């Protein structure tokens, strides 16, 4: 890998979860820092990029390690780890132990690293791009206090004490991130910050974001709270016995606004660019070594997902016909497919698809959109190895979910699979067909149900070899004459061979 290799920031987001949008703040900060250092930086959800150094955010709730087999990956830890911190699945700690990691707080490193010196620490501090063009003066802002983050009993007790002082703490009633969340931060006189875990590790990323927007932060401070030095005189700290006095006497006074404006100004001077230069140098050195060990030759995927966008499956070959869904490969399986297929992909590099090489194909609410379903099913049958499975979910014909999408071209029911199983010969298939391995009905919550409550159908088709009897039936019903192309130049007795030669010469003369 080139020492000037591009940087790619990959955000792990479980299907449909809005909370992982909060990682965009930290990824944006990394992008800004690396671009300042001259790097070309891209960013995407769930997708790794071939030939780039991939920084992975949010791997703590599950990361398909198979997705990283052909990539140089560095994991960014933003969780509070160790004693009193978040209880993580052992697989995540093991992932950090055997991977390259960047952390935001040195207090986390002992939870996964044998030598803390092996883990670069990159704090998240002032982000000038967040500064509003026309900020509202603090004293004119309509929201007194705003709380952002997940709630637990520890935080609730701290907020209850504030409100017992006659103050109101505004909170969101649902997931809110990005510009929509920042609009409220910009209208607040202060954001209050209380620790979630008993470790009391400082919520650096959230606080830095608020300060960068020009909104003061009032934070709990315990003996365990060890913030980066940049926050020492930029945050208004309250220890255990100071809360009531501050919120009953000091908050909202001219002295408060004067002190907070000065604190915000001090924070604007904090620039950890040298730390990120160290991270970039570390990343390039690590990636250079990893690249030597990466598999050579084209990627030959055994798992295919039809669809991309919200349904992207890391580690699989994700196909789609719409570029804006950011698939691994733009490919329409409803069109004739020539195999083997070689292609270049932005996520996996060179790709090779061969007949009978795929173990599993997934199609979640796809088949109802396909104009030429017969061609698609035939191509899937061709790609699958014998015993390979085609897992399908579709709207059920008699449910409200059928035809609700204007791009639907069909509805499906129990009989929709007959041609691919029992009547395979009608489609020109001969040596292989599908059988139904499993089938169930799903309700509107996508949970198993009885037929009468069905909104969707879920089934698994398995590729199997046809029996001799099935092939005989196919030959009887299909228009093709299925005969091998016998070579006529076969070894025969010498006398017969001379007769054939004479006859051919005679025919040539008379012809």
Instruction: Give the CATH number for residue 258.
Output: 3.40.50.2000
Identify the H or E element spanning 20.
none
Which residue shows structure tokens 């509202």? 136
Q: Cβ atoms within 10 A of the Cβ of 497, count?
A: 13
Residue 364 in domain: yes
In terms of pLDDT, which residue wins out, 225 or 4?
Answer: 225
Same domain, 311 and 452: yes
What average pLDDT does this structure show over 95-122?
A: 94
Same domain, 314 and 463: yes
- Whether the pLDDT of residue 1 is over 60: the answer is no
Same domain, 86 and 70: yes
- Give the up-direction half-sphere exposure of residue 24: CA atoms within 13 A in the CB hemisphere: 14
Same domain, 319 and 457: yes
What average pLDDT does this structure show over 280-292?
A: 92
60 alpha-carbon distance from chain centroid: 12
Q: Cβ atoms within 10 A of the Cβ of 340, count?
A: 11
Same domain, 35 and 153: no
Same domain, 91 and 142: no
Residue 511 in domain: no
> Into how many domains does the chain fold?
3
Same domain, 70 and 172: no
Q: Hey, what are 492's tokens?
A: 């025969």
Same domain, 311 and 434: yes
Same domain, 104 and 165: no
Same domain, 207 and 315: no
What average pLDDT does this structure show over 155-168?
A: 94
- Whether the pLDDT of residue 2 is over 60: the answer is no
The CATH code of the domain that includes 112 is: 3.40.50
Give the structural domain span for 192.
Answer: 128-267
Same domain, 137 and 112: no
Looking at 249, 267, 285, the residue that finishes a domain is 267
382-413 pLDDT, tens digit each: 999 999 999 999 999 988 777 777 888 888 99
Its pTM surpasses 0.85: yes
Whether omega for the bond prior to residue 340 falls within 30 degrees of 0, making it cis, is: yes
Residue 502 in domain: no
Same domain, 139 and 30: no
Looking at 214, 249, 267, the residue that finishes a domain is 267
Percent of the chain with pLDDT over 90: 77
What average pLDDT does this structure show over 254-270?
A: 97
Residue 199 in domain: yes
């Amino acid at each position: 890998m080139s020492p000037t290799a591009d940087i790619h920031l990959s955000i792990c987001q479980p299907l449909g979860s809005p909370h992982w949008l909060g990682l965009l703040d930290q990824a944006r900060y990394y992008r800004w820092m690396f671009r300042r250092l001259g790097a070309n930086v891209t960013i995407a959800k769930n997708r790794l990029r071939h030939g780039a150094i991939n920084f992975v955010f949010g791997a703590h709730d599950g990361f398909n390690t198979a997705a990283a087999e052909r990539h140089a990956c560095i994991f960014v830890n933003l969780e509070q780890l160790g004693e009193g911190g978040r209880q993580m699945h052992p697989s995540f700690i093991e992932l950090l132990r055997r991977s390259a990691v960047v952390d935001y707080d040195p207090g986390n490193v002992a939870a996964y690293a044998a030598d803390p010196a092996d883990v670069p620490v990159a704090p998240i501090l002032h982000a000038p791009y967040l500064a509003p063009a026309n900020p509202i003066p603090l004293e004119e802002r309509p929201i007194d206090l705003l709380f952002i983050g997940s709630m637990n009993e520890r935080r609730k007790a701290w907020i209850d004490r504030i409100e017992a002082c006659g103050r109101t703490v505004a909170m969101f009633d649902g997931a809110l991130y990005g510009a929509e969340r920042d609009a409220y931060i910009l209208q607040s006189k202060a954001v209050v910050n209380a620790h979630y875990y008993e470790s009391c590790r400082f919520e650096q990323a959230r606080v830095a974001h608020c300060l960068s927007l020009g909104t003061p932060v009032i934070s709990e401070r315990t003996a365990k709270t060890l913030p980066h030095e940049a926050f020492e005189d930029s945050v208004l700290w309250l220890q255990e016995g100071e809360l009531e006095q501050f919120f009953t006497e000091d908050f909202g006074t001219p002295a408060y606004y004067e002190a907070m404006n000065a604190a915000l100004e001090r924070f604007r001077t904090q620039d950890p660019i040298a730390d990120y230069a160290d991270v970039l140098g570390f990343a390039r050195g690590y990636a250079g070594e990893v690249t030597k060990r990466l598999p050579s030759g084209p990627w030959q995927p055994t798992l295919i997902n039809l669809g991309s966008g919200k349904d992207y499956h890391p580690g699989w070959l994700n196909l789609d016909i719409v570029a804006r869904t950011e698939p691994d490969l733009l490919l329409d399986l409803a069109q004739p497919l020539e195999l083997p297929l070689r292609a270049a992909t932005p996520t996996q590099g060179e790709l090779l698809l061969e007949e009978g090489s795929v173990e599993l194909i997934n199609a979640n609410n796809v088949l109802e959109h396909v104009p030429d379903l017969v061609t698609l099913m035939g191509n899937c049958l061709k790609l699958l190895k014998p015993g390979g499975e085609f897992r399908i979910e579709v709207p059920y014909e008699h449910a409200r979910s059928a035809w609700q999408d204007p791009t639907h071209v069909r509805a499906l029911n129990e009989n929709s699979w007959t041609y691919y199983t029992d009547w395979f010969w009608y489609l020109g298939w001969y040596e292989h067909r599908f059988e139904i391995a499993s089938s169930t009905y799903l309700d509107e919550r996508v949970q198993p149900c009885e037929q009468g409550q069905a909104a969707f159908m879920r089934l698994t088709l398995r590729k199997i070899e046809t029996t001799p009897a099935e092939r005989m039936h196919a030959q009887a019903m299909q228009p093709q004459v299925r005969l091998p192309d016998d070579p006529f130049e076969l070894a025969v007795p010498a006398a017969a061979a001379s007769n054939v030669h004479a006859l051919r010469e005679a025919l040539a003369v008379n012809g």
